[in-house]
Amino acid sequence: MAHTVLEFLVLVSIGLVVYSYAIYPLVLTCVAGIAQTIRDARYVLRKAERRIAQNADLPQVGVVIAAFNEEQHIESRIENLLELDYPAHLLRLYIGSDGSTDRTNDILAAKHGPRVHTFAFQANRGKATVLNDLVEQVDEEIVVFSDANTYFDQQALLRLVAHFSDERVGAVSGELRLKRSAGDNQDSLYWRVEQYLKFFEARIGGLLGANGAIYAIRRSLWRPLATDTICDDFCVAMNVAASGHRLVYEPTAWADEDTPNAIGEEYKRRVRIGICNFQALVRHPHYLYGTSIGTAFAYVSHKVLRWIAPHLLITALVASCALGMASQGWRIAVLAQIGCYLGAWGTYRASQRGRSLPGPFRISAFLFALNWALFVASIRYATGRYSGSWRRTHR
């Protein structure tokens, strides 16, 4: 009996990881295809209008950005927003500096005006607190969230707000385009896969969160964040989904952002995102049971299983070791697993030392860093060793 349970643990643990990374994208594509076919059939039979209805009057928009030590980007970011193809009298900027210690406050003070509302908070309190304070100042119907180091396409706002003509839509996520890295970081490749999943998840009504660099919500649906919230974009958008409103993905509303060259820099960011993942999972169970079937399906398949992937792999290895005590075949399986993990760790270490690796080995290094970061993040979350304060990286 014990032998059967251990074998079950190994197969299920590895199977769930394989499903999340390899099988789920295929299943999602098929389900989305069926959903689109049903919508097409309804259109043909009912002759309904499928295009986005364009409002004659554009809504007032307030763009909110919380910044910390962004002297390198903040001035050009403001200029980027002011030059967007959107009526000037309908656009206001709300930018807050969270206790910055560089020239960010001075730059914001020089930019303050009728269209640019700047706030220099003296104490560093964390991004979620700053966002809470800034949104309180927004009177506009639509709130657009972004980052200080991101740059919008000229048409981005027009394409975002077009969807709000549908009263069922509560939030719209644009697309973040990461510039290719010259180094070993494969985050731009990983992000392209994520964009693929987002597109098809949106088709089944299961879009998860939003791109923090470019997304919009109805002001009426804003819910203040807990002050220690780390991944604010995920929580803000999922709160909208839990309210019963639709999340929409608009890939033609895009923004650019740099990808850090060093995989070590990406690892630090991933640890922090990992802590956010477990924070959301424990703190907001209603994201699973209080949303649509499509959202719940995508949440478990795309997010939860990936967050616990390192734990599943460790479970499989421990169970395999127990089985290997009585079986030569399982001892070989143990060695195979250890060999794979050591090989991935070796590619990661080589990348850290600045060695140039072929594409498949760079991907191996990135996946190792991603899953190791998730494992470390789970320990830090469980032991309470984290905060909602800023952690600066190149991205």
Tell me what pLDDT residue 366 has: 87
248 vs 362, higher pLDDT = 248
What's the angle, vertex CA 11, arms to CA 8 and CA 15, rounded to 5? 135
pLDDT in tens, 276-304: 999 999 999 999 988 999 999 999 999 99
Query: What does pTM read for this prediction?
Result: 0.86
Q: Give the Cα separation of 246 and 251 in Å (integer).
A: 16
Q: Classify each residue of 122-155 as buried b or exposed e, where b means 16 or more C-beta atoms within 10 Å of its C-beta.
A: eebbbbbbbbbbbbeebebbbbbbbbbbbbbbee
The arrangement of strands across the sheet holding 61-67 comes to 116-121, 91-98, 61-67, 142-146, 214-218, 169-178, 246-257, 151-152
Nearby residues of 290 by Cβ (< 8 Å), 6 or more positions away = 242
Residue 105: is its pLDDT beyond 80?
Answer: yes
Assigned domain for 311 exists: yes
Q: Give the Cα separation of 395 and 393 in Å (integer).
A: 5
One domain for residues 182 and 273: yes
The pLDDT-based confidence of 395 (bands split at 50, 70, 90) is: very low
Assigned domain for 39 exists: no
Name the maximum alpha-carbon separation found in the chain: 76
Tell me if 62 sits within 8 A of 81, measured CB to CB: no
Assigned domain for 245 exists: yes
Q: Give the Cα separation of 319 and 147 in Å (integer).
A: 44
Tell me if 159 sits within 8 A of 88, measured CB to CB: no
pLDDT in tens, 27-76: 999 999 999 998 888 878 876 555 555 555 899 999 999 999 999 999 99
One domain for residues 309 and 294: no
- How much of the chain, in percent, has pLDDT values that exceed 70? 90
The pLDDT-based confidence of 118 (bands split at 50, 70, 90) is: very high
- Enter the tokens of residue 201: 């998840």
One domain for residues 220 and 358: no
Listed in order, strand segments (DSSP E) in 33-138 are 61-67, 91-98, 116-121
Assigned domain for 275 exists: yes
Assigned domain for 345 exists: yes
What letter would DSSP give residue 179? P
Q: Give the Cα separation of 342 and 331 in Å (integer).
A: 16
Specify the number of domains making up the chain: 2
Assigned domain for 52 exists: no
One domain for residues 121 and 229: yes
One domain for residues 217 and 104: yes
Q: Which of 115, 241, 98, 236 minimizes the C-alpha distance to 169? A: 241
pLDDT, the chain, mean: 89
One domain for residues 229 and 323: no
Assigned domain for 14 exists: no
Assigned domain for 140 exists: yes
**Kind plus residue range of the DSSP H or E element containing 374:** helix 359-382
Write the burial class of residue 232 (CB in 10 Å: 0-12 exposed, 13-18 middle, 19+ buried): buried
The boundaries of the domain holding residue 255 are 61-303
